[in-house]
Chains A and B, each alone.
Chain A
């Protein structure tokens, strides 16, 4: 577990150093994700330890959102001031995002299922 955490943190560190050094708009952890993916593709996949630690982290992904979510208590004034705009913008944009992605992917999958249609 410790070795797996060290690998994940090293990728994040490398990503963060590249981000800070180049000023790329992509956050450090995302560059770390890309780096780890390239390594996994080159080396033929993760060792059992890395796979288990990653699955363990991702299984509790919801928990990791909690501290940031509780931050709502310090943002209540900003939320109240813009309540109406937020009450329209968040639901509408979320529904549009789901619908557009889902419909496009479904269209491709239907076409794949009926190649002569």
Chain B
């Protein structure tokens, strides 16, 4: 009896799984709900909207036995915007061009050192702990913003989706540890704080820094772009030096 009544519902569900509408709508609605929760909590490191949204969507997919492919049919329209968003980073970089030019040597020194440290130590630790090559290479670009990281991973023979996951985990972790770490290392300048979080924890970290200081946000945005370029150039060299 019941199954007969539910049959049309089941057909609708199967139909929706092949269409972009459900994945797209769900992503936007959960994102808005997550932003509401984050606002109520006062923009804390633990209530980052991207982290909440990803957690809820992963739980929903697992509970409803929905494949990632079915979800991505809709979500890919949001994912696609990462490309133009990367290009759009040129606008805040242009707005801060005077500060960038004036501090060109400090900024480039700090970013190159930070980029090499974050990527090199991740690959080295994974290597020493016996992770396979695909994991090591996928870890390399994890501090870089997603679209760039996935591109680098693909070119070096990593697994781009795995890299995307590492990027997100890195961003979440960066938000959690940045404030205590800055106190411990006596990093008090907001330009230095923004740059550091942008280099090591990309856009997720920078979005968080923006809620603390405008200056930190601007230097974070700058670091995302420059670190993306630096890692794209340096990581292939690092991989060939390590011989992995």
A residues touching B (Cβ–Cβ < 8 Å)? 5, 8-9, 11-12, 15, 25-30, 32-34, 36-37, 40-41, 45-46, 50-51, 53-55, 57-58, 61-75, 78-79, 82, 84-86, 88-106, 108-110, 112
Contacts and interface: CB of A to CB of B under 8 A. Distances in A.
A112 B89 CA distance: 27
Given A34-B229, A99-B181, A73 B196 contact: no
Contacts of B54: 65-66, 69-70, 72
B68 A94 contact: no
B187 interface: yes
Interface in B105-130: 105-107, 109-111, 113-115, 117-119, 121-123, 125-126, 129-130
Contacts of A26: 229, 232-233
Nearest to B205: A98
Contacts of A89: 121-123, 125-126, 129, 131, 139
Interface string B78-119: 110111111111111110010000010111011101110111
A100 B233 contact: no
Contacts of B169: 90
Interface residues of B, number: 112
A2 to B, nearest CB: 12
B214 interface: no
Given A74-B161, A78-B162, A97-B118, A64 B148 contact: no
Contacts of A85: 125-126, 129-131, 135
A36 B125 contact: no
B116 to A, nearest CB: 9
Contacts of A9: 83-84, 87
A91 B119 CA distance: 12
Given A74-B68, A102-B182, 18 more contacts: A26-B233, A27-B152, A30-B148, A41-B94, A45-B94, A50-B91, A62-B207, A65-B164, A65-B203, A65-B204, A66-B27, A91-B173, A94-B177, A98-B114, A100-B117, A101-B113, A105-B187, A108-B103
Given A51-B91, A93-B125, A105 B110 contact: yes
The main secondary structure of chain B at its interface with chain A is: helix
Contact of B174 (A45, A65, A98): A98
A7 to B, nearest CB: 9
Nearest to B74: A67
B192 interface: yes
Interface of B: 27-28, 31, 48-50, 53-54, 57-58, 61-62, 67-68, 71-72, 75-76, 78-79, 81-94, 97, 103, 105-107, 109-111, 113-115, 117-119, 121-123, 125-126, 129-132, 135, 139, 142-143, 146-148, 150-152, 155, 159, 161-162, 164-171, 173-174, 177-178, 181-182, 185-189, 191-193, 195-197, 199-201, 203-204, 206-207, 221, 223, 225, 228-229, 232-233, 235-236
B226 to A, nearest CB: 10
A85 B85 CA distance: 32
A70 B71 contact: yes
A7 B150 CA distance: 23
A96 B113 CA distance: 10
A106 B196 CA distance: 10
Contacts of A41: 94, 97
